Amino acid sequence: MKPIHPKLHRIDHFKKPVQDDYEIILRPETSWIHLELKGIWHYRDLLLLMVWRDFSAKYKQTLLGPLWFLLQPLLMTLVFTVIFGKVAGLPTDGLPPLLFYLCGQLSWNYFAANFNSNSATLVNNAGLFSKVYFPRLIVPISALISNLFTFGIQLALFVGFYFYFKTGPGPALFAASWRALFLPLILVQTALLSLGVGLLMSAITAKYRDLTHVLNLLIQLWMYATPVIIPLSKFPEKWRWVIALNPMTTIVESTRLILLGNGTVYPAHLIDSVIVTLLLLAAGLLAFIKVEKTFVDTV
């Protein structure tokens, strides 16, 4: 046997092993609530894709596209103005009915859109969840972000009518003030409240599928329990605390106060609204995280 030439018998001891770009490390859960915040940031590209998916799905293959976001609150405002303002004669705290109802629908429509998007997240995305892993909270969070575009369009519609009535021939007994700077805080509370309630309903409907048929009825009843049509000031004072148990009551009245200078907001009601929002958010997160671990196995 001929000896192997030493130049041909070479081992590169300095060559580093090839490593994968991504590593998945499995660890036991040590906290009482596991939000996967790091995972959500890691899948931020998927989050952006989900936002675009939700946004494009709303007006894809439609004639008017995003204009539907303007027509819906405008038509509802006209209906409220005619039926509740002209026919029923319900008061609007001295504000022009058109502005009163438009302003009331701003925060409410954002809440309702998030609720409708997230209240059946597990059921509607069961096929996606069963095929690939990613933090499940990405889906409801993407709905919150995509619905902000709708809110922005409706806010622009409100601003347009605001300046129309402000510069009109009649007296303008309303005015926005520096309090309008708090609008982002109200928007954050609305998003957190809708996320908590949506996740809670999503966990419930995952177990009891027939409840998906009553979600639209639930959101309609909730609207009539919120001062979107009737201002809180017209309720008997001894019963206002009951209406204020609904966290959306303070949100809607606060929106009118900062944008029109007319709204009934008590500090105690504001504190209660924030506390209820945080409690519902915690309950929704707990229920959602508990159910989403085993939901795919029962589909």
Q: Could you list the pLDDT tens digit for every one of the 299 residues in the chain?
A: 445 444 444 444 444 444 555 555 545 454 545 666 777 778 788 888 888 877 777 666 565 666 777 888 888 889 998 998 888 888 888 888 899 999 999 999 999 999 998 888 887 777 777 777 778 888 899 889 989 988 998 999 999 999 988 887 766 677 887 888 999 999 999 999 999 999 999 988 888 877 878 888 899 999 999 999 989 988 888 888 888 899 999 999 999 999 998 888 889 999 999 999 999 999 999 988 888 777 665 55
Total residues belonging to the chain: 299
| Cα–Cα distance measured from residue 229 to residue 6, given in angstroms and rounded to the nearest whole number | 91
Residue 199 makes CB contacts below 8 A (sequence gap 6+) with: 118, 121, 140, 284, 285, 287, 288
Sign of CA dihedral 67, 68, 73, 79: positive
Report which of 153, 135, 138, 154 is spatially closest to residue 51, judged by C-alpha positions: 138
Q: Exposed, middle or buried by CB within 10 Å (0-12, 13-18, 19+), for 195?
A: buried
This prediction has a pTM of: 0.83
Q: Supply the pLDDT for residue 111.
A: 96
Confidence (pLDDT) at 33: 55
Question: Domain limits of the chain?
Answer: 66-298
Predicted pLDDT at 246: 93
Structure tokens that stand for 3 in this block: 């000896």
- pLDDT at position 193, please? 96
**Residue 89 — left, alpha, or beta (φ > 0 → left; ψ -120 to 50 → alpha)?**
left
Distance CA 291, CA 74 (A): 39
Alpha carbon of residue 218 to chain centroid? 16
Q: Are 121 and 202 in contact (CB under 8 A)?
A: yes
Instruction: Identify the pLDDT of residue 13.
Output: 43
Which of 115, 220, 112, 96 minimizes the C-alpha distance to 158? 96
Instruction: Supply the pLDDT for residue 53.
Output: 79
Provide the total of helices (H) and of strands (E) in the chain, helices listed first.
12, 0
> How far apart (Å, rounded) are the C-alpha atoms in residues 142 and 193?
15
Is 297 within 8 Å of 267 (Cβ atoms)? no
Locate the DSSP E strands across the chain: none
Q: Which residues contact 16 (CB under 8 A, 6 or more apart)?
A: none
- Cα–Cα distance for residue pair 95/99, rounded to 1 Å: 7
